[in-house]
Amino acid sequence: MNLNHRILQVDRLTKIYGKGTQKTEALQGISFDVLEGEFLGIMGASGSGKTTLLNCIATMLKPSSGKILLKDKDISSLKGNALADYRGHEIGYLFQEFELLDNMTAQENIALPLSLQGISLEQAQKDILQIAERFDITEVLEKFPPQMSGGQKQRTAAARAFISNPGIILADEPTGALDSKNSKILMDMLAAMNQEEHKTIMMVTHDPNAASYCSRILFIQDGRLFHELRRNRQEETTEAFYDRIVTVIAQLGGGSANVL
C-alpha cells in the first residue's frame, strides 16, 4: 500500500438528466482523487448527487462530461470484455439493500463474482471460507437469504464485494437497512478490512456514525463539492471526528460554505 499513490481520479465530472425546462444537473464539474488504502466517505443531502457519482464510477451511469480514471485508465473508453473485466476485477459494489439472489445460498452469492471470471466453486472454496471468517458468516454459508438476518445478509453482500480482491470497494449507504447494532458490526469489519488489509473503500452515507470510521470525507451539495474533512487517526478519536462531521452537516443544511 502507498497512501501517496492515486488509485482513482475524478476530473470535472458532470451528469445531466433531461433537457430544457426538465434539465437537472446532478453533478456539476466535480473533481477529486482517491488514494490507495484510503477510506473515503461521501456525504450530502438526498438529491445532492452522491449516488449518481458512485454509479458513474461503477459504470452503471454514463457521465455527461469529464473523466474517471482508475489506476490511470479512463473507464469511459472501456467496452465489451474490457468493461466486463473492469466491473468484475477492479471494483466491488456493496448495495444498501443487499441485492442477494434468494435462490442461491450465501456461499453461492459470495462466489458469484468468481464464477463470472470462470473460477469454479470448488476452486474458490478456500477464498470463500477465508472471507466468510472475516465477516463472521461461516454459519450461514449454506443458508439462503430469506433464512438470514439483515446483518447477516449485509455481511454476506460485503464478502461478495471483497471476494475478487478489487482495486476499490464502492459502498452505497451500506448501513441504511440495518439497525444500530448491526451497523456498528459492519462498520467495524469494513474499517478492519481498510486498516489491516489496506483495502480502498469509497462509501456514500448519510449516517455520521458510519462516516466517523472514514479517514476523509467529501461533502456534496447540489452536485458540487462543498467541504472536505480529514481525520488525524493518531491524534483524533472517532468521537471527536463524529462531532466535526455533525458540525459540517448542520452547515450543509443551512447552505453555508464557511465551515471550519
> How do residues 33-88 score in pLDDT, each as one tens digit?
999 999 999 999 888 899 999 999 999 999 999 999 998 889 988 888 888 888 88
pTM: 0.91
The three cell numbers of residue 129 are 471460507
The whole-number pLDDT of residue 58 equals: 92
Give one DSSP letter per residue of 47-79, joined into a string.
TSSHHHHHHHHTTSS--SEEEEEETTEEGGG--
DSSP β-bridge partners for residue 6: 35
**Distance between CA 147 and CA 154 in Å, rounded?**
13
Mean residue pLDDT of the chain comes to: 90
Sorted by sequence, the CB contacts under 8 Å of residue 238 that are 6+ apart come out as 212, 213
> Domains along the chain?
6-254 (3.40.50.300)
Cell 471494483 belongs to 91
**Distance between CA 95 and CA 109 in Å, rounded?**
14
Beta-carbon neighbour count of residue 217 at 10 Å? 24
pLDDT band at 258 (very low <50, low <70, confident <90, very high): very low
Cβ atoms of residues 216 and 228 within 8 Å: yes
CA angle 98, 99, 103 (to 5 degrees): 115
Rg (CA), the chain: 18
**Distance between CA 33 and CA 41 in Å, rounded?**
12
**Distance between CA 67 and CA 87 in Å, rounded?**
17
The whole-number pLDDT of residue 81 equals: 84
> How do residues 156-170 score in pLDDT, each as one tens digit?
999 999 999 999 999
* Percent of the chain as helix, strand, coil, to the nearest 5: 40, 25, 35
Segment 206-223 shows an average pLDDT of 94
Cβ atoms of residues 10 and 57 within 8 Å: yes
CA-closest candidate to residue 27, choices 5, 46, 53, 9: 53
